[in-house]
Amino acid sequence: MNSAPYQEFAKNKLHVTFADIELLVTAFTHRSYVNEHRKTAKEHNERMEFLGDAVLELVVTEFLYANYSEPEGILTNWRSALVRTESIGEAARRYEFEPLLRLSRGEKRGTPRARAQILANTYEAVIGAIYLDQGYEAARQFIADSLLGTFDDILATGSWQDPKSQLQEMAQSKDGHTPIYKVLTEDGPDHDKVFTVGVFVGGELKGQGTGPSKQIGQQQAAERALKSYEQ
């Protein structure tokens, strides 16, 4: 396997010189690739992702604790906004992870939703690889460079706030009704369901959302309903 692209990526994008570049290669290796290349690929990135997730959570928690004096509940919501799939997946896109992903032929043709999840998981695995090879401080620096700088935008847009809670306050104050969520459709096989959810206020459909779970569909429906109040 040619590790040169990973060495170049580590140097130019991560600003890290790996002692063991195979750790970074593993971070980019999806389970499906190992299943398809059993003779040449021995390990996928899931254990590394598990480690990186813990390091990410600690770094973000330290950052928020050191810089803000808000109550625990708000800090928890801020942390959730920083480490959610959308935030870390976008960080992976900005750092141009995608060309280095090692995926099966099937996964390469996967849906945008599946690819976003793979990128987010790989971001955590890369943190794990940096931590294993270079230690905590190098991992912290990568997270600071790639992710923590987005926090001002999260605060400015209010995207850290739970849209369902926001919508409930808005609907009750403006319409005098509590939002009601209903599943409109369920599509796909059991292992890959897509739910379309509508949110109704006073019997009127205010927004629709789709997602791999009812909860995600509800969140998206609430976000779209909030936009209808802003118009």
Q: What band does 188 get if pLDDT is binned at 50, 70 and 90?
A: confident
Same domain, 122 and 204: no
What per-residue confidence (pLDDT) applies to 133? 98
pLDDT average, residue stretch 178-191: 91
DSSP percent split of the chain into helix, strand, coil, nearest 5:
65, 10, 25
pLDDT average, residue stretch 217-221: 91
pLDDT average, residue stretch 148-156: 90
Same domain, 152 and 210: no
pLDDT average, residue stretch 208-230: 88
**Amino acid at position 79, single letter:** R
Tell me the CATH number at 119.
1.10.1520.10
pTM for the model stands at 0.74
Residue 97 has pLDDT above 80, yes or no: yes
Same domain, 40 and 67: yes
**Which residues are identified as catalytic?**
53, 124
- The residue among 129, 157, 185 that closes a domain is 157
Residue 95 has pLDDT above 70, yes or no: yes
Q: How far apart are CA 79 and CA 58, in angstroms?
A: 10
Q: Which two tokens stand for residue 103?
A: 């995926």
What per-residue confidence (pLDDT) applies to 147? 96
How many domains in the chain? 2
pLDDT average, residue stretch 21-43: 93
Which of 54-68, 87-101, 109-123 has the weakest average pLDDT?
109-123
Question: Kind of pairing, strands 194-201 and 180-187?
Answer: antiparallel
Strands (E), the chain: 180-187, 194-201, 204-211
Using alpha carbons, list the distances in angstroms from residue 106 to 2, 139, 146, 155.
22, 31, 29, 38
Q: Rounded to an integer, what is the distance from CA 121 to the centroid of its chain?
A: 8
Q: What band does 231 get if pLDDT is binned at 50, 70 and 90?
A: low
Tell me the CATH number at 208.
3.30.160.20
pLDDT average, residue stretch 117-128: 96
What per-residue confidence (pLDDT) applies to 203? 93
